[in-house]
Structure 1
Amino acid sequence: MEYSTDRPLVSLTVAGIARRADEYLIVEERIRGQRYLNQPAGHVEPGETLLEAVIREVREESRFAFEPTELLGLYHDNPHQGRRVLRVAIIGEINEAPDDEPLDDGILAAHFMSRAALERTTIPHRSPFVTAAIRDFEQGRRYPLDLLHSIR
């Protein structure tokens, strides 16, 4: 099997999983003119740890402060075409109210939605990772954050 050298083997991303009562923090975003629902998520920047990245992404996309508490899981997508993605989903607590800064470019709004509402919505999910993470959260999957090692 030949591997193309013009596309990355993996795009490393993080997602913040936060729940209040029975609702999850979800962002509504616009990508190439289409609306999607997603957890606050994004790429790990050069020099960032996974925890630093998830704290930044949740703040930029929802304006909530995020305190990581547990690792939910690793989610890998390996399509035949396009970029392969490794998503690190991290559970955390959010503060009571978001700050007043503007949301990140492309983010339309932050919502709290139940699993049922997410399943009923006509707005597509950004990827299958959204429902996979919620399913795993509700099944009680939790791992200690000390599984994540950063070597700088």
Structure 2
Amino acid sequence: MAHRWKPNVTVAAVIEQDGRFLVVEEETSDGLRLNSPAGHLDPGESPVEGCARETLEETAHRFTPAALVGIYMARQHGARGEDTTYLRFAFCGTLGAREPGRALDHGIVRTLWMTAEELRASRERHRSPLLLQCVDDYLAGRRYPLALIHVHPSVNGESEA
């Protein structure tokens, strides 16, 4: 049987306060890069749940998604010849207080608050080509209801009654 192509599903948070966006600086095989708080969707979780979890792990802040900013696809070629396509669900919402003493996820060096202009000026350091597109869509007012994403109970291991 031929290999079936499957994109990597990721979730990302677009978090803005006072004209600045919360981003993470992380270690990658290409050096230090900037990205939205983001990561892979885990088995058994919805995109909303995954975004809240990834934001907590990467920033030590609780995050409550309130709207979908967009769904994005991008293809990237890694330093070692990897060819990966990502399907990203980006959310905006409410950032909670930082959890004191909580360590950042492995590979995350620090969090930063950057303006859209600072993000545009640092494109060569973006881990994902989607970082700026998500910010631009957020600034353009793109917001879609969370109900747009239907998660069947079977995702969480529940049987349908």
- Give the alignment's TM-score, normalised by structure 2: 0.85
Q: Percent identity?
A: 34
**Per-residue deviation, 1:122:** 7.3
Alpha-carbon distance in structure 2 between the residues aligned to 1:48 and 1:99 = 26
CA RMSD of aligned residues (A): 1.9
Alpha-carbon distance in structure 1 between the residues aligned to 2:112 and 2:44 = 30
Q: How does 1:1-150 map to 2 (within 5 A)?
A: 5=3, 8-32=5-29, 34-78=31-75, 82-121=83-122, 124-150=125-151
CA contact (8 A) 2:25 2:111 kept: yes
CA contact (8 A) 1:64 1:99 kept: no
CA contact (8 A) 1:70 1:145 kept: yes
Q: Which moved more, 1:62-71 or 1:121-130?
A: 121-130
Distance 1:54 1:122, change over 3 A: closer
Kindly tell me the number of residue pairs found equivalent between the two proteins.
148
CA contact (8 A) 1:25 1:110 kept: yes
Letter in 2 for 1:90: F
**Per-residue deviation, 1:51:** 1.0
**Per-residue deviation, 1:8:** 4.3
CA contact (8 A) 2:74 2:129 kept: no
Alpha-carbon distance in structure 2 between the residues aligned to 1:96 and 1:114 = 20
Alpha-carbon distance in structure 2 between the residues aligned to 1:57 and 1:147 = 21
Q: Which residue of 1 aligns with 2:159?
A: none
CA contact (8 A) 1:37 1:123 kept: no
Alpha-carbon distance in structure 1 between the residues aligned to 2:30 and 2:134 = 25
**Per-residue deviation, 1:100:** 2.0
- Give the alignment's TM-score, normalised by structure 1: 0.90
SS of the equivalent of 2:68 reads: strand
SS of the equivalent of 1:83 reads: strand
Unaligned runs of 5+ in 2: 155-161
Letter in 2 for 1:16: A
CA contact (8 A) 1:69 1:93 kept: yes
Distance 1:98 1:25, change over 3 A: farther
Alpha-carbon distance in structure 1 between the residues aligned to 2:75 and 2:112 = 29
